[in-house]
C-alpha cells in the first residue's frame, strides 16, 4: 500500500510538470492558429524580453518559498537596481561594468536586509518584504530625482556593449535574455536540486526545528535564500535596463503578483518544503506566453489577469485536493499493522 | 523599563495616536502653517479611502488571514458605481450594487480560504487577478468619465462649515465598528480566532463562519471606499486602486495590527492610515521632496514590526523561563521538606 | 469497591460505559466503565500512554469513541463537538491553558456566551467574590502567571455552570502556595457538589484532595475505589504492569564500571539551567545510563541544554574531558554528542522528504562541501535501512508514509550517522509498536557494545529497567536517587520518580 502511495506522489509531480508543458503546447497551437506570425521562431523566442524579469526572479523566489518564506520585494529591487546602475554610470561616471557589479551588490544587500530581519530577528517574511517593497521602490524614486536627467525621461544613452546584454542575439536568432534565462535555470537547478545548500533549503522548509536539531544553521540558510532572491532581482534590473536602453524607477512596479503567481503555479507549496525549479521556469513561460499570445491575438494584456488568476486558484485548489487524496497512506499503515 | 514596554504593547493604538501627534506637532514646529485647522482637515480628508480599506483589511488580518484583493475590489466597485450613475441610476441603486459586489468578492475569498483550504494570500491574489481583469471587461478598458456634477459634489459637502461629509461618514463607521467589536456579543470572535484558533474552537466559537464574515466585511468596506473614490476623483480609470492593497496592509501594520492575528483595533488601523496618507504632505511642509514618501513609509513599517517582534520575543522567553523557574522553586521547597539532598 | 458519596441509589453525575478508542492499530482505551457522582474528586493516575488524556478528550468532545456510551445525570448524551460537551456541563481545564493572550481576563472568560455582557459581568464578580480569589478582570491574559491562567480556565468552567470539571495535571506548573490555593478551591467545589476529574502524576496529591482514585494502565482501569482504601504502596502496585512479578531479577548483566579507572565520555558537573538544578552525572563508554522520572521532571530540559540549545545557568558539561558548555549545537554534534528529541513529529523527522534526505541531513557536509554526493548518501541510507530493518519501499519513500516505528528508526539513523561518542535518547520508543520497539532495543544495545555512552531518557520504567546499566531518577528538576545493579527495579524507580522512595539503599 505504501508503495502505491509513493508512486502516486511521484506521478503527481510528474503530472504537474507535464500539465505545464501541455498548457504550453496548447498555447503555442492556439495562438499559432489565431496569428501564424506567433509561430515564427524569432518572434516566439523574442517574446521572452517581455517577461524576462518574472522568469528570473520567480526562479529564486521559488527557493525562498521552499524555506517557508515569501519575498514580495523583488519588483521594487528591480527598479532600485536600475536606478543605481544609471546613477553610477552617468552621474558618478563609473565604468559601466563596475556599475553593473555594484548594482548586483545592491540587490544582494537588499536581500540580506530582508533575510536578516526575517531569520535572525524573527519578523514575518510577508511584513518585512512588504516594508522592503516600499523602502526599495521609494529609494528608487528618490535616486531618480538625484540624477541630472529628468525623472520622466530616465537615464539613457548607454554604451553599445551594455545594450547588447539584452539586445544581442546568439547565432543571429536566439535573443540573449533567453540564454541568460537558460543559464539561470541551470544555476538555480543545480543549487536547489543538486547542492548541499539546496538540500538544506528543503529540510529547513519541511521542518525548521528538526533542521536545528540536525545541526543545520537554518537561520543562515533562510537568510541566504533572500540574498539570492535579491541578487536575481538585480540581475533582472540589469537585463531590463539593457533591453529598454534606459533606467526607470518604476521598472518593476507591476511584477510582484505575477512573480508569486509563477512560483505557486510552478508547484511550490506556500507552506514550504516542496517545489521545483523546472516547474517554476515552465510556469513563468506559461504565464508569459499567455500574455504575449493574447496580445498578438489582439486582446488587451489587462484582461489576462483573469485567466492567470483562475489558473492560480484552480492549481492550488487542485493540488490541495490531491494531497487530501494522498491521506489513504495512513489507512494503509493501519491495514499493514493488523 | 519593562513596565513601560508592556504598557506600550498593551495599548498599541495609543502608541499609534501618540506617534501621529508627535509627527504632526514636530512638523508644526518646523513649519507652523502645517497645524492650521484647514491643513489638518485636508490631511484627514485625504485619508478617508485608506481608512476604509484599512478597516476592512484589519478584520481579515485580526482573524489571522490576509486579503490582497481590496485594491482590485475598490477599482471594480468604483467603476460599476460610476458607470451606473453616469447612465442615470440613482445613488442608492448604484451604491447597493457596488456594496453587493464587494460582499460577493469577499464571500468568494472566504469560501476559498475556509472550505477549499487555499492559503489566504494565494486565494486573494488569484481573486485580485480575476477582479482586476473584470474591470477591463466591464469598462472595455476605457475611463468612466462625464459623471454628473451632483455626484462629484458630494465630496465638497461640509457640515457645520468644516466637517467633510465623507470624513464624517468614515468617523461614524469607525465608531460603529469599534463598538461592534468591543461591545457586541460576537465582536471579539475575530480577535479570538486570530489569537488562538484551537482555543476558540474549544469554547464553541464558529470559526469558519467568522472568518468568512471577516472577508465579506473586508469586501464591503473596499466597495464603500470604491464609491467614495468615484465621487472624490470624479472619474474612474481601469487601473484605479492598483497597489492600494499593499497600502491598506501597511496602514494596518503601522497602526499596530499584527499580521500574526489577534492583535490590533480599528482605531489603530484608522490612525495608521492617517499617518500613511499624511506622510507626503508632511514632507512637503518640511521642505522635503514628496518623493521620499514610500521610503519613509517603508522605514517606518520596518522599524515598527522589528520593535514589535523583539518585544514579543522577549515576553515569550520570559514567560517560559518564569514557568520553568516556578517549577524549580517548588522543587526546592519539596526537597527541604523531605530533607532530601540533590546528589 | 464503592465511592465516598455513593449511597447506592443516587444517579451518577456522569456515567461512562464501555468506552473504547483506538488510533490506527494502537488500542488506547479498552471498554472503560466508570461512574462518577456529585461532589466526587476523582484522581485519575497512570503512566504516559495509559489513556487518561484520550478518555478526557472523549468527554470533551474532541475525540469520538469507537464504542460505548456516556450518560449525564442518567441521560444518554452524544458529545460530538466541544460545544456539545460544554452544553452538557463538562469543562476541561487543559494542562497548557488555552487562553487568548491578547485579551483581558474578563474577555477570556465570557467569550462564547449567549448572555448579555453586563449580566455576565455581575455573575462573574459574584463568583470571584464567592471564591475569594484575587484576580483583576482587566489584566491581559499574557501577563498572567500559569497559575492565574489556570484560575481563569476554572472560572470559565464555573461561569458556564459546569457540573463536571476536568483538571489535567493542574499543578505541573504551579508553585507551592499556588497549589495550596488550588486545593482550597477544589475542596470548595467538592462541597458545592461539582464533580472533578483530577489527572496527576503526583501520588502525594491524591491523598491531599481526592475522594476517589482511578488507576489506568494500558487503556484499562486496573484499580478503583475510595481514597481511604489506598496507600501509596498500593497506588504504585496499580501502576505496575499486570504480569509483572516484583521479585523477578533482571536477566541481563549490568556492567559495573569502575569510575576511577576510566575517563567518562560525558561528565556533567553541578549543571543548572531553566527547569533543572545541580545535576551531576558521569557516563562511561559502553554504558547505558537510564534517566527516569515523570513528565515535567526536567529531563528533557536538561538534555536540550546539554545539547547547546538553551541557556546554561551554572556548571559544566565535559565531553571526553573537553569542556563543551554553552557551545553551538552544530559544534557539539561535531565533537561527538547527539541528542534524539522526544517529539518525533515536531523535532525529528522531515515528513515530506524522503528517507535518504532524512538519514543524511546531519552529515551531508562530510561527503562533499558543495554538492550532494548521491552515491555516498544512497549507500549510507541503504546500509541503515538494512541494519535497522527499516521497512520501506526504497530510500526514496516519503518519511510521512512510514509507520511510527519506522519513522523512529529513521530518526535514530539520522542521529547515529553523525558517528557520535555519546547519544542522548529522549523517549526513543514512544508510540511505536512492539516489533519496532525490539529493533530499537537491539540498536541501543549494539551502541553499548560499540563503546558508545548512552543516556536513555524514558518514562517507560520497564524499558529503563530492561536496558540500563545504571539509573538516575529525576524529580522536580533534580536527581534524587541513583541506582545500580540489583537495586534497579521497577518498584524502586517508580517510587523514586514519584518522589516517595524511602528505602535505605546505599548509593553514592
Q: For residue B212, what is its C-alpha cell?
A: 468568512
Q: Do A142 and B289 touch (CB under 8 A)?
A: yes
Q: CA of C459 to nearest chain B CA: how many angstroms apart?
A: 19
User: Residue A74 in contact with residue A62, Cβ under 8 Å?
Assistant: no
Residue C237: predicted pLDDT: 75
Quick check: A11 contacting C, CB < 8 Å? no
**Whole-number pLDDT of residue A12:** 54
Instruction: Give the Cα-Cα-Cα angle C419, C306, A67 (nearest 5 degrees).
Output: 70
What are the distances in angstroms from CA B264 to CA A121, C182, C460? Answer: 21, 34, 46
CA pair distance C224, C238, nearest whole angstrom = 9
Residue C81 in this model has a pLDDT that exceeds 90 = no
Higher pLDDT, A91 or C144: A91
How many angstroms separate the CA of residue A148 from the nearest CA in chain B? 16
Contact call for C348 and A215, based on CB within 8 A: no
- List A residues 140-199 in contact with B (Cβ-Cβ < 8 A): 141-142, 144-145
Q: Find the helix or strand (DSSP H, E) in which C15 lies.
A: strand C14-23
Under DSSP, the state recorded for A116 is: I
Residue with cell 518593476: A252
Least confident of B126-135, B322-331, C104-113, C446-455: B322-331
C251 phi and psi, to 5 degrees? -75, -35
Does residue B109 fall inside a structural domain? yes
Q: Does any domain span residue B343?
A: no
Residues of A in contact with C329 (CB under 8 A): 212-213, 215
For chain A (length 338 residues), average pLDDT per consecutive 10? Answer: 46 71 89 86 85 94 95 94 92 91 96 96 90 93 80 77 87 87 96 94 94 92 97 95 89 85 89 91 91 80 78 78 44 28
CB-CB neighbors (< 8 A) of B195 in chain C: 100-103
Q: C222 to chain B, minimum CA–CA distance in Å?
A: 29
A70, A142, A257: residue with CB nearest B129: A257
Please check the confidence at residue C128 and state whether its pLDDT lies above 80.
yes
DSSP H or E run through A42: helix A41-46
Question: Who's near A332: CB < 8 A, 6+ residues apart?
Answer: A1, A2, A4, A5, C401
Q: Is the ipTM of this complex over 0.95?
A: no
The domain tally of chain B equals 1
Asked if the C-beta of A302 comes within 8 angstroms of chain B's C-beta atoms, the answer is: yes
Q: How far A99 CA lies from chain B's nearest CA (Å)?
A: 23
Residue pointed to by grid coordinates 508547484: A267
Task: Tell me, yes or no, whether B175 lies in a domain.
Answer: yes
Residue A202's pLDDT is 96
Give the three-class secondary structure for C468: coil
Confidence (pTM): 0.84
pLDDT, residue A294, reads: 82
Report the gap between the CA of B235 and the closest CA in chain A (Å). Answer: 19
The predicted pLDDT at position C189 comes to 84
On the question of pLDDT at C411 being above 90, the answer is yes
- C266 membership: H or E segment, kind and range: strand C266-273
Contact list, B343 vs chain C (CB under 8 Å): 280, 479, 508
- What is the C-alpha radius of gyration for chain B, rounded to an integer number of angstroms? 23
What residues in C contact B262, CB-CB < 8 Å?
Answer: 100-102
Which pLDDT does position B107 carry in this prediction?
Answer: 97
- Tens of pLDDT, residues C251-300: 556 666 666 678 899 999 999 988 888 999 999 999 999 999 877 788 99
The pLDDT tens digits of the residues spanning C20-79 come to 988 766 778 888 899 999 889 999 987 766 788 888 889 988 888 888 889 988 888 888
Closest C-alpha to B16, from B265, B249, B195? B265
Q: Which residues of C touch A324 (CB under 8 A)?
A: none
B contacts of A133 (beta carbons < 8 Å): 246, 298
Taking one residue from A and the other from B, the number of pairs with CB-CB distance under 8 angstroms is 150
CA distance A274 to chain C (A): 8
Contact flag C351-A214 (C-beta cutoff 8 Å) = no
**Torsion angle defined by CA atoms of residues C12, C15, C17 and C23, in that order, rounded to the nearest 10 degrees:** -160
Q: Which of residues 386-425 of C touch A (CB under 8 A)?
A: 392-394, 396-398, 400-403, 414, 418
Instruction: Grade residue C170 by pLDDT with cuts at 50, 70 and 90.
Output: confident
Question: Is the CB of A209 less than 8 angstroms away from the CB of C346?
Answer: yes
Reply yes or no on whether the pLDDT at C339 is more than 90: yes
Looking at the complex, report in whole angstroms how far the Cα of residue B142 sits from the nearest Cα belonging to chain C. Answer: 48
Q: Which of A3, A14, A189, A207 to mutate to test the interface with C (most CBs of C within 10 A)?
A: A207
Nearest to B291 among A130, A141, A264 (CB): A141
Residues of C in contact with B330 (CB under 8 A): 174-176, 179, 476
What is the pLDDT, as a whole number, of residue A192?
Answer: 95
Quick one: C341 exposed, middle or buried, by C-beta within 10 A (0-12, 13-18, 19+)? buried
Position with higher pLDDT, C438 vs B159: C438
CB neighbours of A324 closer than 8 A, spacing ≥ 6? none
C175–B329 C-beta distance less than 8 A: yes
- Of residues A185 and C205, which shows the higher confidence score? A185
Distance, CA of C350 to CA of A295 (rounded, Å): 45
Question: Is C290 or B324 the better-scoring residue by pLDDT?
Answer: C290
Q: How large is the average pLDDT for residues B173-187?
A: 88
**Distance of alpha carbon A320 from alpha carbon A327, whole angstroms:** 11
Coil, strand or helix at B165: helix
- Which of C112, C172, C276 has its CB closest to that of B203? C112
pLDDT at C253: 61
pLDDT digits (tens, 9 = 90+) for C373-409: 888 999 999 999 999 988 888 888 888 888 888 899 9
Would the CA dihedral through C127, C130, C136, C139 be positive or negative?
A: negative
- B-chain CB neighbours of C277 within 8 Å are 328, 331-332, 342
Contact A127 B130 (CB under 8 A): no
Q: Are A105 and A97 spatial neighbours (Cβ–Cβ below 8 Å)?
A: no
Query: Cell triple for residue C116?
Result: 448579555
Residues with Cβ < 8 Å from B187, sequence gap 6 or more?
B180, B181
* Residue ranges in A87-159 assigned as alpha helix (H): 96-115, 125-146
Q: How far is CA B122 from the centre of its chain?
A: 19
Q: Give me the domains of chain C, ranges plus CATH numbers.
A: 14-239 (3.40.50.300), 266-497 (3.40.50.300)
What pLDDT, on a 0 to 100 scale, did the predictor assign at position B322? 74
pLDDT at position A134 is 92
Q: Does C364 touch chain A (CB under 8 A)?
A: yes
Q: What is the pLDDT of residue B6?
A: 53
B298 located within any domain:
yes
- Compute the mean pLDDT over every residue in chain C, rounded to the nearest whole number: 84
Taking CA–CA distances from A193, the nearest residue in chain C reads C372
pLDDT of residue C457: 93
How do residues B98-147 score in pLDDT, each as one tens digit?
A: 999 999 999 999 999 998 888 898 899 899 989 998 998 898 888 988 88
User: For residues C104-140, b (16+ Cβ closer than 10 Å) or e, as one string?
Assistant: bbbbbbbbbbeeebeebeebbeeebeebeeebebebb
Distance from the first to the final alpha carbon of chain B: 40
C-alpha distance from residue C394 to each of A327, A334, C361, C384 (Å): 20, 20, 17, 12
Shortest distance, CA B68 to any CA of chain C (angstroms): 25
| pLDDT at residue C414, rounded to an integer | 93
Q: The CATH number of the domain where B19 resides is what?
A: 1.10.3470
Q: Is residue B224 part of a domain?
A: yes
Q: Which domain holds residue B69?
A: 2-338
Q: Which residues of A touch B253 (CB under 8 A)?
A: 127, 130-131
Residue matched to cell numbers 542575439? A169
Distance (Å, rounded) from C-alpha C480 to C-alpha B342?
6
Query: Residues for chain C: how many in total?
Result: 508
Determine contact: B160 vs chain C, CB below 8 A: no
291-330 in B: which are within 8 Å (CB) of A?
Answer: 291-299, 301-302, 305-306, 308-310, 313
Q: Which of C384, C51, B112, B230 is closest to A309 using CA atoms?
A: B112
Amino acid at each position: 500500500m505504501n508503495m502505491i502511495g509513493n508512486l502516486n506522489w511521484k506521478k503527481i509531480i510528474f503530472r504537474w510538470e507535464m500539465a505545464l508543458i501541455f498548457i504550453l503546447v496548447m498555447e503555442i497551437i492556439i495562438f499559432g492558429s489565431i496569428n501564424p506570425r506567433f509561430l515564427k521562431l524569432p518572434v516566439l523566442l523574442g517574446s521572452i524580453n517581455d517577461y524576462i524579469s518574472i522568469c528570473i526572479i520567480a526562479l529564486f523566489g521559488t527557493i525562498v518559498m521552499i524555506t517557508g518564506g515569501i519575498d514580495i520585494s523583488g519588483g521594487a529591487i528591480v527598479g532600485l537596481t536600475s536606478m543605481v546602475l544609471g546613477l553610477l554610470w552617468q552621474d558618478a561616471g563609473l565604468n559601466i561594468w563596475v556599475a553593473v557589479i555594484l548594482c548586483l551588490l545592491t540587490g544582494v544587500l537588499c536581500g540580506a536586509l530582508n533575510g536578516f530581519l526575517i531569520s535572525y530577528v524573527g519578523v514575518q517574511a510577508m511584513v518585512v518584504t512588504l516594508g522592503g517593497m516600499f523602502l526599495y521602490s521609494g529609494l528608487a524614486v528618490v535616486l531618480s530625482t538625484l540624477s541630472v536627467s529628468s525623472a520622466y525621461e530616465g537615464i539613457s544613452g548607454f554604451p553599445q556593449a551594455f545594450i547588447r546584454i539584452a539586445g544581442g542575439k546568439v547565432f543571429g536568432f536566439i535573443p540573449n535574455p533567453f540564454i541568460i534565462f537558460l543559464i539561470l535555470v541551470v544555476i538555480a537547478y543545480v543549487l536547489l536540486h543538486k547542492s548541499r545548500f539546496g538540500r538544506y533549503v528543503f529540510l529547513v522548509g519541511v521542518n525548521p526545528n528538526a533542521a536545528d536539531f540536525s545541526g543545520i544553521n537554518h537561520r543562515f540558510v533562510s537568510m541566504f535564500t533572500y540574498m539570492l532572491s535579491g541578487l536575481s532581482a538585480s540581475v533582472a534590473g540589469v537585463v531590463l535596463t539593457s533591453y529598454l536602453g534606459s533606467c526607470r524607477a518604476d521598472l518593476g512596479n507591476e511584477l510582484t503578483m505575477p512573480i508569486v503567481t509563477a512560483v505557486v503555479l510552478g508547484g511550490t507549496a506556500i507552506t514550504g518544503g516542496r517545489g521545483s525549479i523546472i516547474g517554476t521556469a515552465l510556469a513563468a513561460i506559461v504565464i508569459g506566453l499567455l500574455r504575449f499570445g493574447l496580445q498578438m491575438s489582439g486582446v488587451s494584456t489587462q484582461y489576462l489577469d483573469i485567466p492567470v488568476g483562475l489558473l492560480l486558484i484552480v492549481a492550488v485548489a487542485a493540488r490541495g485536493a490531491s494531497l487530501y487524496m494522498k491521506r489513504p497512506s495512513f489507512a494503509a499503515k493501519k491495514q499493514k499493522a493488523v | 523599563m519593562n513596565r513601560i514596554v508592556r504598557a506600550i504593547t498593551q495599548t498599541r493604538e495609543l502608541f499609534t495616536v501618540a506617534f501621529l501627534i508627535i509627527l504632526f506637532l514636530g512638523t508644526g514646529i518646523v513649519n507652523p502653517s502645517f497645524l492650521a485647522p484647514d491643513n489638518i482637515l485636508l490631511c484627514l480628508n485625504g485619508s478617508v479611502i485608506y481608512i476604509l480599506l484599512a478597516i476592512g483589511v484589519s478584520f481579515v488580518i485580526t482573524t489571522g488571514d490576509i486579503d490582497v484583493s481590496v485594491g482590485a475590489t475598490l477599482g471594480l466597485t468604483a467603476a460599476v458605481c460610476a458607470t451606473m450613475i453616469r447612465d442615470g441610476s440613482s445613488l442608492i441603486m448604484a451604491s447597493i450594487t457596488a456594496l453587493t459586489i464587494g460582499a460577493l468578492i469577499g464571500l468568494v475569498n472566504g469560501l476559498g480560504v475556509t472550505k477549499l483550504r487555499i492559503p489566504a494570500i494565494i486565494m486573494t491574489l488569484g481573486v485580485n487577478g480575476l477582479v482586476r481583469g473584470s474591470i477591463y471587461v466591464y469598462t472595455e478598458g476605457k475611463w468612466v468619465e462625464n459623471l454628473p456634477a451632483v455626484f462629484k459634489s458630494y465630496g465638497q459637502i461640509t457640515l457645520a462649515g468644516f466637517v467633510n461629509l465623507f470624513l464624517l461618514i468614515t468617523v461614524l463607521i469607525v465608531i460603529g465598528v469599534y463598538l461592534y467589536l468591543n461591545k457586541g456579543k460576537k465582536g471579539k470572535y475575530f480577535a479570538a480566532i486570530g489569537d488562538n484558533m484551537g482555543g476558540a474552537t474549544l469554547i464553541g466559537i464558529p470559526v469558519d463562519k467568522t472568518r468568512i464574515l471577516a472577508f465579506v466585511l473586508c469586501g464591503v468596506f473596499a466597495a464603500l471606499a470604491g464609491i467614495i473614490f468615484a465621487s472624490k476623483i470624479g472619474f474612474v480609470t481601469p487601473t484605479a486602486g492598483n497597489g492600494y492593497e499593499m497600502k491598506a496592509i501597511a496602514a494596518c501594520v503601522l497602526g499596530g495590527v499584527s499580521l500574526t492575528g489577534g492583535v490590533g483595533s480599528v482605531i489603530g488601523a484608522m490612525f495608521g492610515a492617517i499617518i500613511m496618507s499624511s506622510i507626503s504632505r508632511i514632507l512637503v511642509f518640511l521642505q522635503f521632496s514628496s518623493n521620499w514618501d514610500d521610503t519613509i513609509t517603508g522605514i517606518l513599517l520596518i522599524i515598527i514590526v522589528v520593535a514589535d517582534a523583539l518585544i514579543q520575543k522577549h515576553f515569550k522567553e520570559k514567560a517560559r523561563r518564569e514557568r520553568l523557574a516556578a517549577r524549580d522553586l517548588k522543587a526546592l521547597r519539596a526537597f527541604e521538606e523531605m530533607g532530601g539532598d540533590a546528589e | 469497591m464503592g465511592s465516598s458519596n455513593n449511597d447506592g441509589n443516587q444517579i451518577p453525575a456522569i456515567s461512562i460505559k464501555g468506552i473504547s478508542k483506538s488510533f490506527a492499530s494502537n488500542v488506547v482505551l479498552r471498554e472503560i466503565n466508570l461512574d462518577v457522582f456529585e461532589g466526587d474528586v476523582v484522581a485519575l493516575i497512570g503512566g504516559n500512554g495509559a489513556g487518561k488524556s484520550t478518555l478526557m478528550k472523549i468527554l470533551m468532545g474532541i475525540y469520538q469513541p469507537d464504542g460505548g456510551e456516556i450518560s449525564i445525570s442518567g441521560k444518554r448524551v452524544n458529545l460530538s463537538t466541544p460545544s456539545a460537551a460544554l452544553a452538557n456541563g463538562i469543562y476541561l481545564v487543559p494542562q497548557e491553558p488555552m487562553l487568548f493572550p491578547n485579551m483581558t481576563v474578563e474577555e477570556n472568560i465570557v467569550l462564547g456566551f449567549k448572555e448579555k455582557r453586563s449580566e455576565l459581568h455581575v455573575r462573574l464578580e459574584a463568583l470571584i467574590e464567592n471564591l475569594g480569589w484575587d484576580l483583576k478582570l482587566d489584566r491581559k491574559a499574557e501577563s498572567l502567571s500559569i497559575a492565574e491562567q489556570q484560575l481563569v480556565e476554572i472560572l470559565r468552567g464555573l461561569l458556564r455552570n459546569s457540573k463536571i470539571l476536568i483538571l489535567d495535571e493542574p499543578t505541573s506548573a504551579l508553585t507551592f502556595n499556588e497549589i495550596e490555593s488550588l486545593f482550597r478551591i477544589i475542596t470548595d467545589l467538592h462541597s458545592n457538589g461539582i464533580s472533578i476529574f483530577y489527572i496527576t502524576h503526583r501520588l502525594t496529591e491524591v491523598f491531599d484532595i481526592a475522594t476517589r482514585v482511578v488507576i489506568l494502565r494500558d487503556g484499562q482501569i486496573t484499580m478503583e475505589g475510595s481514597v481511604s482504601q489506598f496507600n501509596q504502596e498500593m497506588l504504585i502496585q496499580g501502576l505496575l504492569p499486570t504480569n509483572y512479578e516484583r521479585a523477578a531479577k533482571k536477566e541481563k548483566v549490568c556492567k559495573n564500571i569502575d569510575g576511577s579507572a576510566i575517563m567518562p565520555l560525558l561528565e556533567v558537573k553541578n549543571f543548572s539551567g531553566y527547569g533543572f538544578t545541580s545535576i551531576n552525572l558521569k557516563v562511561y563508554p559502553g554504558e547505558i545510563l537510564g534517566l527516569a522520572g515523570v513528565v515535567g521532571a526536567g529531563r528533557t530540559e536538561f538534555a536540550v541544554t546539554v545539547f547547546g540549545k538553551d541557556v546554561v545557568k551554572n556548571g559544566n558539561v565535559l565531553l571526553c574531558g573537553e569542556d563543551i558548555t554553552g557551545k553551538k549545537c552544530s559544534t557539539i554534534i561535531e565533537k561527538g554528542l547527539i541528542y534524539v528529541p522526544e517529539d518525533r513529529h515536531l523535532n525529528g523527522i522531515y515528513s515530506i522528504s524522503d528517507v535518504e534526505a532524512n538519514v543524511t541531513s546531519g552529515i551531508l557536509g562530510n561527503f562533499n562541501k558543495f554538492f550532494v554526493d548521491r552515491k555516498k548518501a544512497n549507500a549510507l541510507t541503504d546500509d541503515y535501512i538494512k541494519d535497522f530493518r527499516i521497512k520501506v519501499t526504497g530510500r526514496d519513500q516519503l518519511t510521512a508514509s512510514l509507520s511510527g516505528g519506522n519513522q523512529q528508526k529513521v530518526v535514530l539513523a539520522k542521529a547515529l550517522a553523525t558517528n557520535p561518542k555519546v547519544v542522548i535518547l529522549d523517549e526513543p520508543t514512544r508510540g511505536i509498536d512492539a516489533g519496532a520497539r525490539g529493533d530499537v532495543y537491539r540498536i541501543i544495545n549494539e551502541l553499548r557494545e560499540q563503546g558508545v555512552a548512552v543516556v536513555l531518557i524514558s518514562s517507560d520504567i520497564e524499558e529503563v529497567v530492561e536496558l540500563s546499566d545504571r539509573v538516575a531518577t529525576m524529580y522536580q528538576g533534580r536527581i534524587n536517587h541513583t541506582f545500580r545493579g540489583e537495586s534497579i527495579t521497577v518498584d524502586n524507580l517508580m517510587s523514586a520518580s514519584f518522589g516517595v522512595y524511602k528505602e535505605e539503599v546505599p548509593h553514592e
